[in-house]
Amino acid sequence: MRILLRLWPLTFLLAVFMSACTSTKHIAYFQDIGDSINVVKEPIQSIPVAPEIEPDDILLIEVSSPVPGAAAIYNQGTSSGSSTLDRYIGASSTASSLYNRAAQMNLGYLVDSSGSINFPVLGMIHLSGLTIVEAGDTIEKRLEQYLSKPFVNVRFLNYKVTILGEVAHPGTFTIPNQRINLLEALGMAGDMTIFGKRTNVLIIREKDGIRKFGRINLNNSNSLFDSPFYHLQQGDVVYVEPRRSKVWSSDQAILRNVSIVATILSTLSILATRINF
């Protein structure tokens, strides 16, 4: 029995180690980059693509003019000289909450199934397939017959990406500046958990009725930065798969480890009884 009592602490520590031990070699990003300082002189291959307007997009369109009050009719419910967002939502809010609340208040223009919006005075304007800069130029040209030197600012209200799986804060995130890469997206979600599979991050992208899948290895800098999926696009879904160690740390694994410990203790108890006799 004395032997059993002496071995009990060691057995307990062994069980804890079996249930909690996780290799750190799968956790670090960019493992192919050395510790020494390395200046990369090659031009960056992966360039973000300007998002194009599609049906069901929601656009915030603000019109201004040097003539005081002349553009008021073209701005939904706002007086000249004040931003729609600042006036109705409050300039002190964060950028993400501004756009979320603007969308909830129906301040934007919904692009219909034909790719057009119904704009005050101008009527239907086809914008599908244009970037927001091109859309602004298109509306400005239409406004020149009504306004002196019009300036049009167009922004997406529904530019969002969704991050799921083994991250600290999964969810859907609004991107006010319409530009985000995979690393920034993971940062918004609180980064991966230690159980996230860094070698096989999945990006799901739908465009023009076609669904595409891309996989990126975050342990390989070339796989990450040269991938066409590094810069996320509107509506992208990022999924971080769990590693096998996540399964090992599940309730079933804990029950299995407890069963192993119980078996070890039972064996030690039998041995100790025989030694005493």
The full set of domain ranges for the chain reads 2-22+249-276, 24-49+159-245, 58-156
Same topology, domains 24-49+159-245 and 58-156? Answer is: no
Half-sphere exposure of 257 (CA within 13 A, CB side): 19
Least confident of 55-69, 134-148, 248-262: 248-262
Over residues 66-92, the mean pLDDT reads 60
pLDDT of residue 44: 54
Confidence of residue 50 (pLDDT cuts 50, 70, 90): confident
pLDDT greater at residue 91 or residue 132:
132
Q: Is residue 261 pLDDT above 50, yes or no?
A: yes
CATH, domain range 24-49+159-245: 3.10.560.10
Over residues 97-116, the mean pLDDT reads 72
How far is the C-alpha of 140 from the C-alpha of 120, rounded, in Å? 13
Which residues 6+ apart lie within 8 Å of 248 measured at CB?
Answer: 19
What's the pTM? 0.66
Confidence of residue 108 (pLDDT cuts 50, 70, 90): confident
One CATH from 3.30.70.790, 3.30.1950.10, 3.60.15.10, 3.40.50.720 for 58-156: 3.30.1950.10
At residue 156's C-alpha, the angle toward residues 155 and 162, to 5°, is 145
SS3 105: coil
Q: Pseudo-torsion of CA 133, 139, 145, 151, nearest 10°? A: -50
pLDDT of residue 89: 44
In residues, how long is the chain? 277
Q: What is the mean pLDDT of the chain?
A: 77
- Give the strand order in the sheet containing 109-110: 109-110, 58-64, 151-156
pLDDT of residue 92: 41
Please check whether residue 230 is in contact with residue 182, taking contact to mean a CB–CB distance below 8 angstroms: yes
Confidence of residue 193 (pLDDT cuts 50, 70, 90): very high
Over residues 52-56, the mean pLDDT reads 90
pLDDT of residue 243: 81
At residue 213's C-alpha, the angle toward residues 168 and 111, to 5°, is 85
Q: Is residue 202 pLDDT above 70, yes or no?
A: yes
Residue type, 214: G
pLDDT of residue 4: 47
Confidence of residue 271 (pLDDT cuts 50, 70, 90): low
Confidence of residue 102 (pLDDT cuts 50, 70, 90): low
Least confident of 75-89, 158-172, 182-196, 204-218: 75-89
pLDDT of residue 34: 62
